[in-house]
Amino acid sequence: MPSEIFEVKSTDLAGRIGRLQTKSGVLETPALLPVIHPVRQTVPISEISKLGFKAVITNAYLTLKNYGDSASIKGIHRIIDFDGVIMTDSGGYQVLEYGDLDVTIEKMAKFQESISTDIAVILDKPTGSKANKSFAKETVKATLKAAKETLSLANRKDILWTGPVQGGVFLDLIRQSAKKTSTLDFDIFALGSPTEVMETYNFQILSSMIMTAKKNLPLNKPLHLFGAGHPLTIPLAIALGCDMFDSASYILFARDDRYLTDAGTVRLKDLRYFPCICRICLSHTPKELLTLEKEERTNILALHNLHVLLKAVTESKEAIHEGRLWEHLGAKARCHPRLWNAFLSLGKYTDFFEEGSLQSKSKAVFFYGPEDFSRPEVLRHRKKLMDNLTFTKKILLILPEDEMRPLYKSPLCLALTAKKTELLENVQICFLSLSFGLIPIEVSDVFPLSQYESSLKPNTTVDFQHFMVEDVIKILEKSKFSNVILVASNTQHRTFASKIRKTVPTRLVKVDRSMSKTVNNIYEILQDLD
């Protein structure tokens, strides 16, 4: 295997499109790995492969218990009849469900190598989300011990080993576990024990768990999220930096006659029409499916559920490619109030997201509501405004935002600068944007200041954010402006002026229906200040 097994091709927020090199081929991430039962798999794996899944996960512990030493002769690819990438879980879920297993760390390490898996997982001790902190500490300690022992036993260089991070819902333990596990030579890292959190739709806790692990793990290696098989979870997890997922939800939901949609699950009996155009839904009606025998109905419904999950991954990948992951996640977040609350809390991770967001994109940035003020493009502009721009002129002239892009092409700006006069030589022209705050005219034609669309309108939808007032005051405090002229088109502009005039004397010019009158009023003040 090459020294660099993971290559990142595109990024947006903390999400990325990558290429993971395995001995069975390259796996493009983000990737969802359907859970395959090594003995009682009812949905044909050939059908799963036809849907487009290049990798699956199966259970090494169950394989050992059912096949014994003969599994080493056949190999895991022949056992489940799949020639793509196979990841094997060592039995951690069984530990969570039933307690300690009758197998050693050494046995599971050597067994996974013997069946020639592509990606192996150590025999960890999952925390679960219902554990108390004392037990959670034990699982972190036990998992770290198992990690060290497993790596010391690993002989094959062509198998990728996965190091789980434990700690449950205790963020300090996740941080501790991630930091210590990151010092070990794993090819892939994983966040364990999130399943129960996801089952209760506690997306805010899930976000905190993922980000705590992500910030304390190497960014040049993939992060796997165990048990993330829900269309609402996948876009959020991808945006937070998860590269791989696995889940048996497709079959578990199907056994319960639950039909996956982009927004969640629906009982099959409650559907009259299928809101999907996959081949399953085009060739059946809900009523027809309900008449089928249980196993046949379950398998057919499971294939549809896999289609929805794969669609969730593919849509997120395309959003990364287009630089629209924030917009995509925002749209998906409106499918459920708890997911929306998690989206609203993403502002605390903006610093981390800013590193993965491109400096320039081919698509415009969209603003739908105040929650979009937390997007990384806004933070980046504010940093540049405060740290990189130096203002040397005496008068700051602030013009209102206009729908014209770039802003210097707005009718008021063009009318103002059309006059060739020395009065403008000492004037710094800026625009007051409800989305970005203060925009100097010199940079108003660069991304994203020249490529954004907003539904936000002063006086009707939202006030100027407090940070925008603070930014302007900081600029006034460190600059040499002796006066500010603010052209006001509404009461919010006048309120804005009342806050900044405490720092620098500020004159107001009310926007008049007559453009020439507004321009003349500006020049009258400039002559008065000259």
Catalytic residue numbers read: 89
DSSP assignment of 32-43, as one string?
EEEEE-TTT--S
Q: What backbone phi and psi angles, to 5 degrees, belong to 308? A: -65, -40
Give the span between the Cα atoms of 161 and 419, in whole angstroms.
69
- 392 by Cβ neighbours in 10 Å (0-12 / 13-18 / 19+) ranks as exposed
Give the span between the Cα atoms of 473 and 385, in whole angstroms.
12
Give the span between the Cα atoms of 214 and 222, in whole angstroms.
10
The answer to whether 359 and 451 have CB atoms below 8 angstroms apart is no
E strands present in 309-442: 365-367, 395-400, 427-433, 437-440
The pairing of strands 55-59 and 31-36 is: parallel
Total H helices, total E strands in the chain = 23, 20
The DSSP code for 346 is: G
E strands present in 241-285: 244-247, 258-261, 264-267
Is the omega angle on the peptide bond into residue 505 within 30 degrees of 0, that is, cis? no
DSSP assignment of 450-487, as one string?
TSEEE---TTTT-PPPHHHHHHHHHHHHHS--SEEEEE
- How many C-beta atoms lie closer than 10 Å to residue 34's C-beta? 28
Residue among 190, 186, 215 at smallest CA distance from 127: 190
The answer to whether 38 and 79 have CB atoms below 8 angstroms apart is yes
The DSSP code for 442 is: G
Q: What backbone phi and psi angles, to 5 degrees, belong to 152? A: -70, -20
